[in-house]
Amino acid sequence: METHYSVRAPEPITMRIGVANVPLSAAMQRHLAATGAFITAFNPRGDAISAAGYDARHAALLLDLKQLGFPFHEGAGGHPDNGWPEEQSCLCFGLSFEDACALGAKWEQDAIVWCEGDAVPRLVLLR
């Protein structure tokens, strides 16, 4: 809940769970999207892996998102104080809730961040 979800977009976005976000709302409007999902391929099942493994998983996630055809921006999620490395991630616009959860499950994630028209990021547990 304390993690900062940062997105490299034309107007940078830093999301916090449960906190309405004006830049997120603006990005959703720019992409004509009613939804957004912040997803990572890092730390499958909560386990740390090698740097090369992280790079390969992130590249494969990017390929998945490109093939799906929805607009997205890259970013990273990380706690500001706990010393755990940030996780490369993507904020994808326009996915259905079911597709977002399925993508998170494919990449063996414990959770995704889900956003709807109110631009309030919510943590959705997958396991």
Distance CA 38, CA 109 (A): 11
pLDDT of 48 over the 90 cut: no
pLDDT of 22 over the 80 cut: yes
pLDDT at 69: 96
AA identity, residue 124: V
pLDDT at 1: 79
Instruction: For CA atoms 62, 104, 24, 14, give the dihedral sign.
Output: negative
pLDDT of 102 over the 90 cut: yes
Helix locations, 45-126, DSSP H: 51-68, 97-106
Distance CA 90, CA 61 (A): 9
Distance CA 57, CA 79 (A): 21
Per cent of the chain over pLDDT 70 is: 100
pLDDT of 126 over the 90 cut: yes
Mean of per-residue pLDDT scores for the chain: 95
pLDDT at 84: 76
Backbone φ, ψ for residue 101 (5° rounding): -65, -40
pTM for the whole thing? Answer: 0.94
* Domain edges within the chain: 4-125
